[in-house]
Amino acid sequence: TWTTSNVVEESVAAIREQVGTKRAICGLSGGVDSAVAAALVQKAIGDQLTCVYVDHGLMRKGESEQVEKDFVAATGVQLKVVEAEERFLSALAEVSDPEEKRKIIGREFIRVFEQAQAELVAEAGAAGEDVEFLVQGTLYPDVVESGGGTGTANIKSHHNVGGLPDDIEFQLVEPLRRLFKDEVRMVGQELGLPDEIVHRQPFPGPGLGIRIVGEVNKERLDLLREADAIAREELTAAGLDRDIWQCPVVLLADVRSVGVQGDGRTYGHPIVLRPVSSEDAMTADWSRLPYDVLSRISTRITNEVDQINRVVLDITSKPPGTIEWE
């Protein structure tokens, strides 16, 4: 029978069997999936695991600090932080095709992990040569939607499944591969992770890189980070975090429209709010957020974020629209 303690017990046994006495590294994205995967693997193999947090510059405001502080405090994992903003942004320069972006981000992730692995080997001396495994928080829906499941069409290359390069040097450990998100949260709870981690809304591995429609650069990322932070602040203040599944905030970087602010004409970019309700992200409906909350978000974003003069609401369900715009 399916109980979270059975799932934990079986996964721990399977991970021990797979990894043996070797070492593993796990990428933390700040999301619940990678956090639970890491906690599970840590329970199984303890300090044979090192977590790696890649700061790729595509994170939301405050995200890096949260991973560095909260997750380490909750689990006591060994954490290595890699600053890789320049590397990712130069690899993404002038790329606007969504699949191309996903592939580039997936590839750069692996290259950074390989580098982190090499550094761990150097630091640990001979014992370090055994860093053979890469832990990923891949969920069942990720497997299905990347075309790796039951023959379903390939919708998107989720960067921890379809987006990996072919010449990957690691063996993958994917303890959540059969679970849905709500099950992952239960496993996280069972493992004693704090609510702020267990109930975090999903955030995609490729980060804000797939929430800018158009080319990705630092200036655009900074705009989007500000707008996203405002939306999250207002949703939290209104007590809506647990009512919605997630609310991507998207910058339409190649679209401009005319506006008026103060006495002057503006010619700025729109921000899209994409609040959705869902059980497992395979299907979703747009969330009926209270008008006054939407209104506050809109007013604040247009007042506080330079170059944004319009806020629009995405009222498409999934299908036909996916949750993320890319």
Query: Which residues sit at the interface with ligand XMP, rule CB under 6 A?
Result: 145, 156, 158-160, 202, 204-206, 246, 281, 318, 322-324
Residue 180 CB, nearest approach to ligand XMP (Å): 11
Q: Which two tokens stand for residue 158?
A: 């989720």
> Nearer Cβ to ligand XMP, position 20 or 319?
319
Task: Say how many Å lie between the first and final Cα of the chain, rounded.
Answer: 38
- 92 versus 120: smaller Cβ distance to ligand XMP: 92
The answer to whether 200 touches 32, Cβ cutoff 8 Å, is yes
Q: Is 33 annotated as a binding residue?
A: yes
The reply to whether 258 sits in an annotated binding site is: no
Between 37 and 84, CB nearer to ligand XMP: 37
CB of 211 to ligand XMP, least distance (A): 9
Residue 29 counted as an annotated binding residue: yes
Q: Which residues of 181-190 are buried (b: 16+ CB within 10 A; e: fewer)?
A: bebbbbbbbb
Q: Is 241 annotated as a binding residue?
A: no
* Min separation Cβ 173 and ligand XMP, Å: 16
Rg (CA), the chain: 20
Ligand-binding annotation for 149, yes or no, is: no
Beta strands in the chain (DSSP E): 23-28, 49-55, 78-83, 131-135, 171-173, 212-213, 249-252, 257-261, 264-273, 276-277, 285-286, 308-313
> Exposed e or buried b for every residue in 103-112, given b needs 16+ CB within 10 A?
bbbbbbbbeb
Residue with tokens 């840590």: 42
Alpha carbon of 279 to those of 242, 260, 282: distances in Å? 12, 40, 8
Least separation, in Å, of the C-beta of 300 and ligand XMP? 23
CB of 286 to ligand XMP, least distance (A): 13
Q: Closest distance between ligand XMP and the C-beta of residue 153, in Å?
A: 12
Please identify, using beta-carbon distances, which residue of 243 and 304 lies nearer to ligand XMP.
Answer: 243
- Please say which residue, 118 or 155, places its beta carbon nearer to ligand XMP: 155
Shortest Cβ 160–ligand XMP spacing (Å): 6
Residue 238 counted as an annotated binding residue: no
Query: By C-alpha distance, which of 106, 98, 99 is closest to 166?
Result: 106
Asked whether the beta carbons of 159 and 106 are under 8 A apart, the reply is yes
Residue in 262, 277, 268 with CA at minimum distance from that of residue 311: 268
The residue among 63 and 145 lying less far from ligand XMP, judged by its C-beta, is: 145
Residue 35 annotated as lining a ligand binding site: yes
Helix, strand, or coil (residue 246): strand
Instruction: For ligand XMP, give the closer residue by CB, 23 or 200.
Output: 200
Within a 13 Å sphere around the CA of 3, how many CA atoms are in the beta-carbon half?
4
Q: Which residues are annotated as a binding site?
A: 29-35
Q: Which residues are annotated as a binding site for ATP?
A: 29-35
